């Protein structure tokens, strides 16, 4: 059976990235040894990720695997001049390929989208201008969970926040930390030294309690209250940093 074109596109994006690693690894062999070792690590990771791609099933799973693999490979890329136009273009290549693949099909066809981060309200997890791939349907079947990063329409504005409270949860803050149902919430994604201040409440049925990771600057449920689950429009699958 012919492989769906979306899955082929995801495979192609990953294959091109691995080929570029091979080319870059050869080109840097006569340069700094550290850069060469970094290239070799990237090639090993790339080959492994490419092999694992064949273990995925379906277009959506293949796309998610490809996006995650490209991000992992990018973290191992050799050091280059960050100011050059060529490097900046390469850093954007992954985002462009994945975005084109996702946006080339009507959203209704496979229920996914790409969004960008306009503010630092979710730092350090998400930085300004990061891109995130959003699942717009799956969470409606599986339900939301504590810690999910979601998009929601609040007062005519689309926001991206983290789910910290589900219906029936009791939320309170004590000594700068968040408690849920009387127990400390482990939030290792926050900046060291972050203090959370909030008023105690019980999350009403049919709503969720949303907070940004940058607690001192985020406008969230501490200001506008719990958000109706019906206002949640998607759940983040992965993020891509330029």
| Lowest mean per-residue pLDDT among 9-13, 17-21, 96-100 | 96-100
Fold (topology level) of 138-240: Umud Fragment, subunit A (2.10.109)
Stretch 154-165: mean pLDDT: 94
| 174 vs 43, higher pLDDT | 174
Given the DSSP bridges, would you call strands 201-202 and 149-154 parallel, antiparallel or unpaired? Answer: unpaired
Residues of the chain with CATH 2.10.109.10: 138-240
pLDDT at 7 over 90: no
Query: Angle 33-53/59-75 helices, nearest 10 degrees?
Result: 170
pLDDT at 154: 94
Q: What is the mean predicted confidence (pLDDT) over 101-112?
A: 52
Element (H, E) at 184: strand 183-184
Mean of the pLDDT values across residues 219-232?
Answer: 96
Judge whether 144 and 163 are in contact, CB under 8 Å: yes
Buried b / exposed e along 31-68 (16+ C-beta atoms within 10 A):
eeeebbebbbbbbebbeebbeebeebeebbebbbbbbb
- DSSP letter at 204 equals P
The per-residue pLDDT for range 14-61, each reduced to its tens digit, is 677 667 656 554 444 444 454 445 445 555 656 666 677 677 776 666
d(CA 100, CA 93) in angstroms, rounded, equals: 11
Give the tokens for residue 37: 């070792």
């Amino acid at each position: 059976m012919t492989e769906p074109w979306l899955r082929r596109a995801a495979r192609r994006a990953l294959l091109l990235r691995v080929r570029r690693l091979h080319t870059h690894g050869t080109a840097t062999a006569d340069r700094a040894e550290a850069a060469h070792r970094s290239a070799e690590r990237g090639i090993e990771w790339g080959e492994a990720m490419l092999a694992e791609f064949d273990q995925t099933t379906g277009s959506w799973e293949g796309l998610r695997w490809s996006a995650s693999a490209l991000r992992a490979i990018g973290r191992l890329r050799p050091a280059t001049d960050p100011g050059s136009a060529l490097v900046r273009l390469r850093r954007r290549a992954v985002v462009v390929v994945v975005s084109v693949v996702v946006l080339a099909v009507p959203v209704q066809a496979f229920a996914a989208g790409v969004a960008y981060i306009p503010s630092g309200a979710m730092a350090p997890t998400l930085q300004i201008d990061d891109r995130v791939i959003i699942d717009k349907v799956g969470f409606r079947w599986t339900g939301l969970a504590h810690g999910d990063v979601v998009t929601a329409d609040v007062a005519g504005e689309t926001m991206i926040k983290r789910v910290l409270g589900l219906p029936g949860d009791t939320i309170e803050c004590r000594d700068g930390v968040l408690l849920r149902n009387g127990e400390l919430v482990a939030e290792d994604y926050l900046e060291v030294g972050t203090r959370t201040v909030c008023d105690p409440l019980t999350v009403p049925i049919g709503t969720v309690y949303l907070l940004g990771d940058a607690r001192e600057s985020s406008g969230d449920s501490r200001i506008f209250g719990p958000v109706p689950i019906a206002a949640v429009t998607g759940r983040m699958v992965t993020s891509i940093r330029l």
